[in-house]
Chain A
Amino acid sequence: MPEEFKPGCQRPPVKKIDPETAAGISNESVLKEAKPSMVKVGKPAPDFTAAAYGQGKFVNTSLSEYKGKWVLLCFYPGDFTFV
């Protein structure tokens, strides 16, 4: 049965089936992908390119295009939530 949830800014956890567990392989024998580490203050911000919308246009933009300017980079859970 599909499970109902209240719409909000927090989505319910996505249940992912671990293929290793499903195949019955012991996790200890498998090298796990390294967890991404948190960025550090005073260190370079990782560069990226992404599609974006602004002022009526769809564009591709890279962080490196903003060298020489102050940049405020904000992440948020989804559109139509508050920021």
Chain B
Amino acid sequence: MDSVFVHKMWNDHELSKMINQDIPFLMLSDQDGSIGKMYGIYDEDSGVETRGRFIIDPDGNIQGFEVLTPPVGRNVSETIRQIKAFQLVRESQGTEATPSGWQPGKQTLKPGPDLVGNVWKVWKVSEAFND
């Protein structure tokens, strides 16, 4: 919502002090909210954008999104986990899937006729949760 000039001020006066360098990605300005409206995350009532987060694959397709109201911040680790999972699935060309709670290094599933009704043999509920 802010201008690129305010973005610079935020980078220079606060964000760069948190990480001892400039923010390593672009800070886009959507001053009229038109991009937020296209993505369905612009709140007309308060005139601000909510905390929308979209994972877009190399073909330009949206693989996942999450939208939160402003007072609650995101879980960056969860976003990175999801990106790694989508990358693994893409590299396997759909032959592998990542079950609930999957983390890099954990077992994937290979969907197919043999797996139907047999997930309980290869995947335990405890794997859905953090160690």
Query: Could you tell me which A residues sit within 8 Å of B by CB distance?
Result: 8-14, 36-48, 50-56, 58-59, 61, 63-64, 66-83
B64 surroundings in chain A (CB, below 8 A): 41
Tally of B interface residues using CB under 8 Å: 60
Flag if B49 contacts A76 (CB, 8 Å): yes
Q: Does B107 contact A (CB under 8 A)?
A: no
Query: Could you tell me which B residues sit within 8 Å of A by CB distance?
Result: 1-11, 14, 22-30, 34-42, 45-65, 69-71, 73-74, 79, 83, 86-87
Q: How many A-B residue pairs have CB under 8 A?
A: 159
Label chain A's interface by main secondary structure: loop
Label chain B's interface by main secondary structure: mixed
Give the complex CA separation of A53 and B73 in angstroms: 22
Flag if A10 contacts B40 (CB, 8 Å): no
